Amino acid sequence: MRILVVGAGAVGGYFGGKLLEAGRDVTFLVRPARAAALSETGLNIKSPLGDVALGAPPMVQAQDLSKDLKEPFDLVLLSCKAYDLASAIDSFADAVGPKTAILPLLNGMRHLSVLQARFGAGAVLGGQCVISSTLDEVGTVLHLNTKNHVTFGELDGSASERVAAITAAFEGCGFAARASSKILLEMWEKWVVLASLAGSTCLMRASIGEINAAHGGKEFALGLVEECRRIAAAAGYEPRLQALEATRGLMTEAGSPLTASMFRDIENGSRIEADHIIGDLLARAGAAGLESPLLRVICTHLKAYENRRGFSEVK
């Protein structure tokens, strides 16, 4: 299986690096600055589960992909930020053929319809990952905990040959990979968690423990989870009880130092996925006739941050 990993950042660099370490046929599609850094330092991963030092990995830049491409890739592993989706699509479009599977590991749900509009409904799989990772100042991938899960599947829940082939390719690569017949439900469950965590910690500029220690903090956290749950249910993806209870527990854990990566991005003055994690969820609430006052305030807060930093909205 020939795999094109779009991006070699905190997510793509980790999972693509682990695939490459295990001997899989992996090529990274990267921007010029990242290509230069990888050529100089190699692809390095620091992890509690074991470090990886790979040297300069096989890589290509967008402007060279079409002229160097001999045949389409079997799998495109898409790991960009949601606000970079349009440019990422343009960069890897030449790598997609009639039998190419596109596996996005983006947050939210909006990207599915965008990818389907460009490449056709049959090309796109559902997917998600659970990992806490970042890049340090020299471009090393830092794996911050011991979670490294990838879940994927056909959007209609069927058991296909290509999902079986991806499962086989991911086996034995040092991360947990699982095919799911309920990938859309699992993506919605993750979205509920992520929107609750990002929305609360970004609005309050505080950790989960600090929010819960404040007067009314626990009620706020549970109210936000409930707004997100109602939107998922209205879309036909009511979170399962175990997932919902885990989300409530995470959001009300006393003393928890947990914050969302979006919160850390705000503290660093970086771009954020406001439209894709909160804005799209709020739009779906409106379409379903649901009032979501907490999400509305959070969305206004995040958009005000973007306006102040001069980040333009990505459609």
Give the residue numbers marked as catalytic: 190
CA separation, residue 154 to residues 91, 109, 160, 183 (Å): 24, 14, 7, 7
Beta strands in the chain (DSSP E): 2-6, 25-29, 44-46, 52-53, 59-60, 75-78, 101-104, 126-135, 141-153, 176-179
| Encoded amino acid at 72, one letter | P
Alpha-carbon distance 260 to 19, whole Å?
27
- Residue 254 is given by DSSP the state T
Alpha-carbon distance 72 to 94, whole Å?
7
| Encoded amino acid at 269, one letter | G
Burial of 63 (0-12, 13-18, 19+ CB in 10 A): exposed
Residues 60 and 88 sit within 8 Å (Cβ to Cβ): no
Residues 20 and 54 sit within 8 Å (Cβ to Cβ): yes
Burial of 52 (0-12, 13-18, 19+ CB in 10 A): buried
